[in-house]
Structure 1
Amino acid sequence: MSQGVVHHLTHPLIQHKLTLMRQKDRSTTGFRTLLHEVALLMAYELTRDMPTHAVEIETPLERCTGTEIDGKKTVFVVIMRAGAGLLDGMLEVAPGATIAGNLTYSGPNEATIPAGAVEGTVTFTERVDDETKAEVSKGLSALAPLAFFAGLTWKVIAYLMAFVTGLALILLAQRRMAGASSVIRTDTGPVAGWGALALLVTPLAAGVVCVTVIGLPLGIIALVLWGILLYLCQLPVGLLLGHLILGQNKPLESKGFMIGSLALGLLILSLLRAIPVIGFFIWFATALFGFGAFVVNERRLMRAHRAGDNAPIA
């Protein structure tokens, strides 16, 4: 087991260079240059009293004399404390240096490490400093009112679109809308069964049909119609909710009463769907009973028409 020695070092020139570093941007070349100079000064101060001997160094240009430290190989790790987070997260491996083992470090950015400098594996963990966290938190706080307003605006628009669609159906097909809403109360079991079949099985069957070349157009048409009905499912359910609140014993004969019931029911559905977690189950129940209401009501109207009722189906 090797032993480590920690030296606390200070020097006027080092202090001066640190002062200059505080005046520069960390991303500039000047900052990096000053950082290298400070590291070299600290290494020099640490090694100047150590025993050394002269060695001959062969360079491409000439032969010269250098200095080598006596004894065991020594590893110098220069740790600078500059204050104010000046060097926070900065790691640099000097050219020619080697690390005989693994290197694990963390910081806001990944360091540039020369190839082959680390004999083992290099593990980097990204770390976000407190200043960055504060800036992100401040930015999110500033966006919170805007996000709330945007979400509220979208919900209002979605409500108005659904109401206008329901209004058009009441004006154009009052009998169908009233019947689809009523069967949810009178035939709840069949409505739920047909709703599950239409909601879950139809897209699967359409997807299977789309696999074949001949059935591709039919599958696409089926999926489009399924999507339209999925959107319209909220209308009979909303009409039923409003009807139950405004007067469940009053028949759905007046268009004005139906419009008022639809407006109130859609508003209640919009508020319930906005509740976290519960909103999904509200949406699913709406789709289930809405699909079933359309199917059961259409079957009832077709049976009445075949039985000799010549009244218009709408």
Structure 2
Amino acid sequence: MTDQPSPLAIILFFLFVGVTLGISFFLGRQAKSSKGYFAAHGQIPWFVNGLAFAGDYLSAASFLGICGMIAFYGYDGFLYSIGYLAGWIVALFVVAEPMKRLGKFTFADALDARFGSRGIRLAAGISTLAVSIFYLIPQMVGAGALIRPLLNFPHYVGVLLVGVTVILIVVTAGMVSTTWVQFLKGSLLVIFSAVLTVLILQRGFETEPNNQHTFMTLGPFSDSNWTNELVSHEEIQGQTIIPAEGIWKDQPFVRTRQMSSDRITVWSRDPLDKQNFILREGQMITTRSDGKVLVAGLPIGTGPGEATLYPVGRVSRLPNNAQKTGPLGLLSFFSILENSEIMLWRKK
């Protein structure tokens, strides 16, 4: 994040917001009835609806959430996004299409038309509010998190800006403005996502981009004699094993200290079978009681006597110990990603 906000970024942001609100107020004149407000008179073209769905799916929470899922769970986190997309298709055919045939605008209206029960209407209303609140929270948090590095505004300012803008868009013209605004956003996201996809496939994977640190995997070691085997390992010459005491006791981690610099390395102990295991190098970040942040037991930074926290979620080892892949096709990209080692985040 820069110390001073970028005037160009601020101008472009408010220009986009102004255009969006202008479209909303212009289209608001078309929403003169409940059908116009909730269903846009049924006159939205199919391709506009499709891109609007894409824009709704590619939200701030989706982008940041999937990045977080990959950082925590690797390839499995990526698969979550595929399941989320499949859920849209199920909702379209199981919920949206029957509601359209009933001529109703909301799920609560459809239930009321079918059962005529006040209890069902009340339950539908409460569940709608509950789901909306828990859905909006990550959306607003994500919006504030994106505004902060983009415009250097405080987090709460980003939340307020986006929140007020969304409220105005929805209130002015309902589904008419919402659909067209999502169409605009979806079109931009699809175009730039396609450009990024092509660039990423052309670049491929690298395990040491810009001479970054390469995380090691040691072993296998036997449970009965692993301490002697580890101390004598050529990759960690000059390091000693830190006893597992306090909160580290009975945890699947091994810590070593570099005698020359006091740098601490954390190794994740991953079993191979009942008697053998391997050690995967990780990194440790600690916040002391005085608020000072340490990485690998050293102050965070890039200067002498300091340590850097390396990115989480990046590929640390490629199949066959390759250093880089070069340009990739779409299927080969996923195949290599599935069979690579990814730096994950594990909270102790």
Query: Which TM bucket (shorter chain)?
Result: under 0.3
Q: Which structure shows the higher strand fraction?
A: 2
Highest relative contact order (Cα 8 Å, sep 6+), 1 or 2? 2
TM-score by length of 1: 0.22
TM-score by length of 2: 0.20
Greater radius of gyration (CA): 1
